[in-house]
């Protein structure tokens, strides 16, 4: 097998995409940890279902955007660039969600295990990941 053949083998490409997306997911979760007022993993460890739903929605949203990015782009750099752009849009959506709910604070409600707010947060992340993903070209 030639050198270029190795790097273009489907198993190697899949491992490469997987590794890069997992790394990007770790970075994105660290950024979300800074953005939210609560500590995601501490709250999940305590059994906070609202935080688990919101966090799960973020994980699904980020990975779904990368899924679309992998499908639409031929190079790893393009995939990363569009995936990170989509992630930035998800952060914007999270801030917008907080702004559009002036009657209560989203972070405070999720930290208090308000599962309705956690579920809406999950739904926004998942739903918008499809919109962002479909627009990646």
The structure's pTM equals 0.87
Q: How confident is the prediction for the chain on average, in pLDDT?
A: 90
Place of tokens 């409600």: 109
Q: How confident is the model at residue 9 (pLDDT cuts 50, 70, 90)?
A: confident
DSSP code per residue over 50-88:
HHHHHHHHHHHHHHHHHHHHHHH-SSHHHHHHHHHHHHH
For the chain, how many structural domains are there in total?
A: 1
Does 97 map to a domain? Answer: yes
Would you say residue 1 lies in a domain? no
**Does the pLDDT value for residue 1 go beyond 70?**
no
Residue 69 counted as domain residue? yes
101 inside domain: yes
The answer to whether position 51 is within a domain reads yes
Q: Considering the domain boundaries, does residue 25 fall inside one? A: yes
Residues 67-81: tens digit of each pLDDT? 999 998 878 888 888
Give SS3 for 1. coil
Distance separating alpha carbons of residues 86 and 88, to the nearest angstrom:
5
SS3 label, residue 36:
coil
- Non-local (6+) Cβ contacts of 108 within 8 A are 37
Range of the domain at 65: 7-135
């Amino acid at each position: 097998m030639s050198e270029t053949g190795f790097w273009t083998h489907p198993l190697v490409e899949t491992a490469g995409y997987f590794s890069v997306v997992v790394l990007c997911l770790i970075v994105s979760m660290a950024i979300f940890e800074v953005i939210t007022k609560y500590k995601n993993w501490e709250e999940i460890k305590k059994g906070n279902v609202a935080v688990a739903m919101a966090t799960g929605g973020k994980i699904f949203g980020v990975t779904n955007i990368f899924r679309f990015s992998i499908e639409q782009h031929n190079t790893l750099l393009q995939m990363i660039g569009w995936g990170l752009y989509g992630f930035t849009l998800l952060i914007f959506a999270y801030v917008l969600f907080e702004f559009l709910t002036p009657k209560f604070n989203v972070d405070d409600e999720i930290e208090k295990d308000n599962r309705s707010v956690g579920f809406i947060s999950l739904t926004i992340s998942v739903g918008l990941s499809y919109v962002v993903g479909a627009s990646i070209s």
